[in-house]
Structure 1
Amino acid sequence: MDSVDDSASARAEFDRLVGPLRAELHVHCYRFLGSVHDADDALQEALLRAWRSRENLTDTHKFRPWLYKIATNRCLTMLERRGRRELPMDIAADSPAAERVWLEPYPGVGVGEPGPEARYTARESVELAFVAMVQQLPGVQRGALLLRDVLGFTASETAELLDVTVAAANSALQRARARIEQSVPSQAPDDPRARLLAQRYAAAWEDADVDGIVALLAADARYAMPPLPEWYAGHAAIKDFLVTGPLHWRWRFLPTVANGRLAFGTYWWDAERSLFAAMALDVLTLRDGAITEVVSFLDPTLFPRFALPDTVAD
């Protein structure tokens, strides 16, 4: 009976330590893997391994970096088993269609307080453009960038978490920084100007006002719809696509937040059922008072993670 009680007590203490870290660990796995579903699997496996090896941790003050090391190793292992996740506009021309794996959106704005070494805020580090660029890095470079520039671990801590020397960790970080572009942060979802612009965009869709939609786009705006590989750039191409495609239907938009950006669950009119049915999750990038990018994830199964209903009444 005592052993059962001891096990229950150990589990309760383990869960107490894990609880405050679970959300930030999940975001870390998402940044690493570009997929919410893969992040679920990676975190679950990492916590299971941590529980089984808990006796190896002698100092609970090091619990957080210890967990990050286990989660990072799990992500590195998963990277070896699948292709790089991408967005349609990032696909190489010679990339085989059968090997394409799509980046997934993440609910909310990111969590965690970056350390003093961090270069990115929690919100900036989950933006689609940033996560997409991270996916182009090799595993150790990816780990060095995320651990150092996103989470703010020191050089020595980063080396320890990656099981490499400090020199190797610094070298990987420098190569990662050289390859990744410094993305310009988009307007925050709580910015009143951004919210007004997004509301006007949704209203134009619901009114089937193609000129109103295009007027809100930057001249070099891009529009993509994973898992469809094609994408459109510029006013003329996007307008032609809208007129010949989606604006044949009626639409309703419900607001949400994804990857630190304003987003919408979009619903098309289903005449047979006389209601609006879930179609896509549209993630917007807004800069300088204009919409510079729309990524429309054509996957209604994403909606529950964003607290969006399956249908909307007329």
Structure 2
Amino acid sequence: MTTVLERARGGDDRAFGELTAPYARELHLHCYRMLGSVTDADDVLQEILLAAWTGLSGFAERSSLRTWLYRIATNRCLNAIRDGKRRPPTEPLPPFDPPEPTQRGDITWLQPYPDTWLEDHAVRRETVELAFVTALQRLPPRQTATLVLVDVLGFTMAEVAQMMDTTQTAIKGALQRARASVGSPRDADLARSAGNTQLPALGERPDTAGEWAVARRFAEAFVADDIEAVTDLLTDDAWLAMPPAPHEYQGPAAIAAFLHASAAGRRGARVRLDPSPCNHQPGFRCYFLTDDHPPRYAGRFVLTISEDRITRITRFLDPALE
């Protein structure tokens, strides 16, 4: 009796789908961690599957199929970064004059990863939170790949060296440099990311109910345009970021100034927030409501919460993310 692998090698596309389907979602998540963008991960995943389909005859079974697919995935992601396929998106123009930002962010391609895509896999929260994904984007690409493959996915340094066509010594050096830069999901404490976002301590079980209580208070205040109540929920060093817009605001006063300008720019439209968690963090889809038009999608919020305060509000403005 022929095996699924043999049938796939013989050109049976259904057998190929059966062979690769168990790994598709985790490969997509791997691409997302590497690239920081769901859109780019979608594109690269299709390249991975095409490369696997055309190269299946060369799979010598010296490693598992999963390891072979991760080799393809990692190198496709590295190629995408090297070839400039991950280009920063066009900066959106707000329909109002925003106040001067605290700084201009450099990871404008960052996108959220819906929790509904994480439900079928045991994904550790600290390996998918926005702070960690953002930190990965600031590493040299091969350091990103090494950190993710070893510390997140659990491949050995020997396996990673083979995947990336290099030596174990090179992998060890890249891993040490990556850990020194952003910490490691295996450390007791993850280092600060980019100087403005505190990554959570590994092993600390998040108080999900407590986080959503804070998130609901945020939603109620935001919908009511009660900006004072929103800022009361913020830490003193909280940040507001809005990819793909580069504008970032730090501190309650700066964030409040932006929210006042934004509320005025809605010209009386009401707001609705629908719960939609992403990256194992509380989140909402935002819609603008008027009496004479259907609800208009206005981005996604993802909240980073520490104890009973919000440390970061990330509002993703890309309309494709609805």
TM-score, normalised on structure 1? Answer: 0.82
Name which of 300, 314, 322 aligns with 1:281.
300
Q: Does 1:251 align with 2:271?
A: yes
The answer to whether the aligner puts 1:233 opposite 2:253 as a matched pair is no
Q: Deviations over 1:56-114 (max 9, x none)?
A: 2232861000000011111111011226769998857xx7xxxx752111111747878
1:21-55 CA distance string (max 9 Å, x none): 11000000011111111111111111111111112
Alignment of 1:1-314 (within 5 A): 10-59=12-61, 62-82=64-84, 91=104, 101-108=108-115, 110=118, 122-181=124-183, 182-183=190-191, 184-185=199-200, 191-246=208-263, 249-273=269-293, 275-303=294-322
Cα distance in 2 between the residues matched to 1:84 and 1:230: 18
In the alignment, is the contact (CA less than 8 A) between 2:211 and 2:307 conserved in 1?
no
Distance 1:267 1:230, change over 3 A: same
Q: Once structures 1 and 2 are overlaid, which stretch shifts more, 82-91 or 205-214?
A: 82-91
Deviations 1:234-283 (A, max 9, x none): 1111122222322664211000111221111111233541x432101111
The number of residue pairs the alignment matches comes to: 286
Partner of 1:306: none
CA shift for structure 1 position 177: 1.1
Cα 1:112/1:74, change in 2 over 3 Å: farther
Q: TM-score, normalising length from structure 2?
A: 0.80
Structure-1 separation of matches of 2:47 and 2:248: 36
1:25 alignment partner AA: L
The secondary structure found in structure 2 opposite 1:230 is strand
How far does residue 10 in structure 1 lie from its aligned partner after superposition? 3.8
- TM-superposed CA distance for 1:229, in Å, is 2.0
Give secondary structure in 1 for the equivalent of 2:173.
helix
Give identity over the alignment, percent.
Answer: 40
Q: Which sections of structure 2, spanning at least 5 residues, go unmatched?
A: 1-5, 92-100, 184-189, 192-198
When the two chains are superposed, the root-mean-square deviation of aligned CA atoms in Å is: 2.9
Structure 1: where are the runs of 5+ without partners? 115-120, 304-314
SS at match of 1:232: strand
User: What secondary structure is seen at the aligned counterpart in 1 of 2:44?
Assistant: helix
- Larger RCO, structures 1/2 (Cα 8 Å, 6+ apart): 2
Give the Cα separation in 2 of the matches to 1:173 and 1:195: 35
Distance in 2 between residues matched to 1:6 and 1:233, nearest whole Å: 57
Using the alignment, how far apart are the partners of 1:246 and 1:177 within structure 2?
A: 41
In the TM superposition, what whole-angstrom CA distance separates every residue of 1:167-189 from its partner, at most 9, and x where no partner exists? 11111111111122525338978
Cα distance, 1:14 vs structure 2: 2.4
